[in-house]
Amino acid sequence: MSSDYFSHLTEEEKNILKHKGTESPFSGEYNDFYKSGIFVCRACNSPLYQSKSKFDSGCGWPSFDDEIPGAIERFRDTSLGRVRTEICCVNCGGHLGHVFVGEKFTDKNVRHCVNSLSIRFVDHQKLQQIIFGGENLWFFQKKFKELDGVYLCKVNKVKKTIFDHIEFINKTNVNFLKFYFNSKKTTLETILNIFLKIYASTNFLKKNTNRLLILCNDKKQKLTIENLMLQKNKILKNPIFSNILLYEDNV
């Protein structure tokens, strides 16, 4: 747990995230809060929860029935004379709250009970979104998570209907790399350049799997990507064949 993550926090926030305190029930700003977006760690800005996983449990603290994969770590906690499971941000170790199983509030039967002061909301409307579709994109996930301003990066399996748009060599290995980013911190050009640099330097192209699907946020983003791809392919030994499309939010 690095102290640098907590140096910018208020004393109240630090008491919870660093010293494992708890805010009073029904006092937090996110207890009764249901806007569309993501919740990030207040200490290190790592993405923790999507708003669609938030629900009203009536407990007085924000409740979530799912987490962003790989975002949360769990620890045995006996501090109150009974066994509980503490949840912390996997990146900085900041204390978030506790997780409970078996209460049957939702179909997932899980409740992350989280302090509002441990998290911060980022509105989807303030973020751009881009999706890459291709073969074996799991490798790229970590690279984008390390970029400042990339708040959500996850890999999903491709829906069958997407194959109507592009022909892949091996459909069983195709997945989506999907993320939200703040263009004021990390530009679209930076993201695409990093992606193509890694993509072109791996063995993807050697195996003739150099087909890529890019799903864009809007027409402006699509034009930017088309121009960047055109420039890149002029200097690549093996051009990357890409389909650049506008997407509907069904991926």
* Stretch among 15-19, 49-53, 173-177, 225-229 having the lowest mean pLDDT: 173-177
**How many Å apart are CA 35 and CA 10, to the nearest integer?**
25
Q: Is 92 annotated in the active site?
A: no
Q: Which residues span the domain enclosing 33?
A: 3-123
Judge if 134 and 100 occupy the same domain. Answer: no
Which is the catalytic residue, given 41, 113, 153, 216? 113
186 phi-psi bin (left φ>0, alpha ψ -120 to 50, beta other):
beta
Q: What is the CATH number of the domain that holds 224?
A: 3.30.1060.10
Q: How far is CA 177 from the centre of its chain?
A: 10
**How many Å apart are CA 48 and CA 172, to the nearest integer?**
29
Tell me the CA distances in angstroms from 139 to 6, 96, 211, one per residue in order.
30, 28, 16
Domain end call among 95, 123, 151: 123
pLDDT at residue 4 above 80?
A: yes
pLDDT at residue 163 above 60?
A: no
β-strand 128-135 against 211-216: which pairing, if any?
A: antiparallel
Nearest to 213 by CA among 231, 199, 201, 197: 199
Mean of the per-residue pLDDT values of the chain: 85
pLDDT at residue 149 above 90?
A: no
Judge if 109 and 33 occupy the same domain. Answer: yes
Judge if 137 and 105 occupy the same domain. Answer: no
Residues 6 or more apart whose CB falls under 8 angstroms from that of 225 comprise 188, 192, 214, 216, 244
Give mean pLDDT, residues 139-164. Answer: 69
Judge if 97 and 137 occupy the same domain. Answer: no
Judge if 152 and 93 occupy the same domain. Answer: no
Q: What is the CATH number of the domain that holds 57?
A: 2.170.150.20
Residue pair 13/7 in contact (Cβ under 8 Å)? The answer is no
94 phi-psi bin (left φ>0, alpha ψ -120 to 50, beta other):
beta
pLDDT at residue 205 above 70?
A: no
Judge if 106 and 158 occupy the same domain. Answer: no
Compare 174 and 85 and report the one with higher pLDDT. 85
**pLDDT at residue number 129:** 85
Sheet holding 63-64, edge to edge: 54-55, 63-64, 110-114, 95-101, 84-89, 72-77
Residue pair 96/112 in contact (Cβ under 8 Å)? The answer is yes
Strand (E) or helix (H) holding 22: none
Q: Domain count of the chain?
A: 2
pLDDT tens for each residue of 16-50: 999 999 999 999 999 999 999 999 999 998 899 99
Residue 10 belongs to some domain of the structure: yes
Residue 251 belongs to some domain of the structure: no
Q: How far is CA 197 from the centre of its chain?
A: 22
Judge if 92 and 8 occupy the same domain. Answer: yes
**pLDDT at residue number 209:** 54
**pLDDT at residue number 234:** 85
